[in-house]
Structure 1
């Protein structure tokens, strides 16, 4: 099939619509309860340290489970793993709804729920990523990734806004609605039609457990791409401090936080739609490096802004530039990895992403407690630009990547 066809051709592919629906509803729910938990914990504590702990509690289970996750995803039906994960998320959201209704939910309870969700997401995300190549052929993969990204970013736009709106109506609402949407996601994941069965799985050995790490280390382009995203987002993670910016600098309420959280997703959606219609076809490596540098600059602008309109625009650019890196990284990981290794490689990739996102939130919270949110964001943006310059020297093959063809 011609990869130049529109994104509609991907959505019509057997099994892909269920796959996309499962990921979208799961992400929509996760973002909705995330905005509610973030606002609740900051409202109760007024602590940057507490916001940082939210990221740490998501990261630690992911770090502990990474190598188990990879082998599970490579040995069992990936659809069933997704089903179990999303059902557990539905139950967790329901428990949060009841706890909020009964006024039991304390900061410790929120962090406990975040830890459970972090453990479940550690299984769900790499498993779903490894499932995609069993649904569409390699010739459609970049378009499938870009289309999936655009749909996910739509969920990231709607999710925070929905969470803020529902929380404003009643604190129980975002958790109850999310529980329902997680259940819808679980129905879709088990309904996915696969075009071919995964390859025969190898027996469990110590070497096979850590094979994902060895595989990535042996491929400089993959290692450079994944590690670039890790350090760029780890340093440039000012978005983890959005409750502080919304409350203390921009003087906006939950609605303002919802707009700020949605802005990067709007930018990412716009870019992913563009990439779905016109996939990157030349100088892919250089375009990715340039996009990460733009990400750093936009982070600095956001951090220095005291105007909510400018802040939203800067976050729009943050999301758009980050999406270029996401599509390139995701496509390379799937195209360069054989199916029998995809679970383990995707798990390691997910650990890198989790390190940059969740550990980045913890790092930003710790820095903000000392330097304040503005200085933290500026230092992070400058660090991202420095990382791009270093990676051009450490991984020169990145600049030589021309296309993303299977």
Structure 2
């Protein structure tokens, strides 16, 4: 389960990430609570804040992935983490001095989103440089484990600290937490990093990345499923806040406990994923369906304890989908395209928030928080079905000559990034066009299913 930690660089990366992620989740809780205080409990304002934080991904996300391919990832991460720390420090000073206004929170959320456009795809694609392909699925799952471990403690601690000291000190603590991850990146042994050659600047690199994914049904399916879920997954923190305050009348500490309950399930799902050697597409689809179901059921919870109970399996389902999709995409992408592919992945993963968060906030004010959560769960299920259907259509329309280099060896005579090698004599047996077309069709059906 913890085999990736045998790598020195990854140990630094993971340990620094735990500290920084705790601070990040504390800040997210404080940010939501600050908005509710400044606006008198407005769900729409809370939704706008989340939307502004993820809106830059829709605008600049693909460029962020392209920059991840062009420049050394470790240096990019150090710069990005430093800027994020400075941003948290600024917001903390404004809040402590009593100068914070809603537009300050909006501005901070938007600028943080701009930085994340580059930082997130760079950080995601940097993992393989530390651990190699063999331990990549395990490292991705452990990253999710540390992220959700912080998600367990961060909101709960933030809820208590908000009650004692207010929201301002939370931002200052998060600013200090960035020192851990920056130090870890600076202390890495660069000689042990498997760093690919930077991709030289050229025209059409964004279109090249989009075409690459569009011709790879094995990459397209997890990206579409994550994208369909992300519209309502990223806004789920908004739903938790509205349910805790608007339905159950909970305070700051109870709101933090609800966020932690969701994270407990996410942590369990991440640890289970760490034990899996290879990602499974069936596991991906089942996890996406389970999230939609438990999200809808949570909206119908009769009381606060039942609400907490339903949040746990919902969190487990979310992480199952995210870790499986992330590992599938990274293992399937070629090294020179990994940054751009992860840019597309991050775009659909976080870009749904500007759509889902305002919708959930508006629906909560118009029909109540329960209705917004139930509708979000149902629409999540519809999105998963649509993703599977679109992938089937794309696979069926592919011609044999359009088969990319990354498909399995039994089709193209080679091996894909994440597939087992083909039988040695299989290429010689598929000599005629009819046999090749039949093999391609069978592969499409397996991948789409």
Please report the TM-score for the alignment, with normalisation by the length of structure 2: 0.83
Q: Give 2:180's match in structure 1, choosing from 163, 170, 184.
A: 184
Tell me the equivalent position of 1:292: 288
Tell me the equivalent position of 2:252: 254
CA contact (8 A) 2:228 2:387 kept: no
Pick the structure with greater CA Rg: 2
TM alignment of 1:295-374, pairs within 5 A: 295-374=291-370
Tell me the equivalent position of 1:270: 268
CA contact (8 A) 1:59 1:354 kept: yes
Q: Give 1:133's match in structure 2, choosing from 128, 134, 138.
A: 128
Residue 94 in 1 paired to residue 89 in 2?
Answer: yes
Size of the alignment, in residue pairs?
Answer: 395
Work out which structure has the larger RCO, using CA pairs closer than 8 Å and 6 or more positions apart in sequence.
1
Residue 14 in 1 paired to residue 3 in 2?
Answer: no
Tell me the equivalent position of 1:33: 27
Tell me the equivalent position of 2:239: 241
CA distance in 2, matches of 1:173, 1:164: 12
Tell me the equivalent position of 1:121: 116
CA distance in 1, matches of 2:364, 2:335: 42
CA contact (8 A) 2:62 2:206 kept: yes
CA contact (8 A) 1:139 1:405 kept: no
How far did 1:358 drift? 4.9
* Residues 162 and 357 of structure 1: CA distance in aligned 2, closer, same or farther (over 3 Å): farther
CA distance in 2, matches of 1:301, 1:386: 16
Q: What RMSD, in angstroms, separates the aligned Cα atoms of the two structures?
A: 2.2
Corresponding residue SS for 2:219: helix
Residue 230 in 1 paired to residue 224 in 2?
Answer: no
Q: Give 2:381's match in structure 1, choosing from 378, 381, 385.
A: 385
Residue 143 in 1 paired to residue 143 in 2?
Answer: no
* Residues 235 and 37 of structure 1: CA distance in aligned 2, closer, same or farther (over 3 Å): closer
* Residues 240 and 221 of structure 1: CA distance in aligned 2, closer, same or farther (over 3 Å): farther
CA contact (8 A) 1:161 1:262 kept: yes
How far did 1:393 drift? 3.3
CA distance in 2, matches of 1:79, 1:201: 13
Tell me the equivalent position of 1:203: 200
How far did 1:112 drift? 0.9
CA contact (8 A) 1:263 1:312 kept: yes
CA contact (8 A) 1:220 1:395 kept: yes
Tell me whether 363-372 or 211-220 shows the greater mean CA deviation. Answer: 363-372
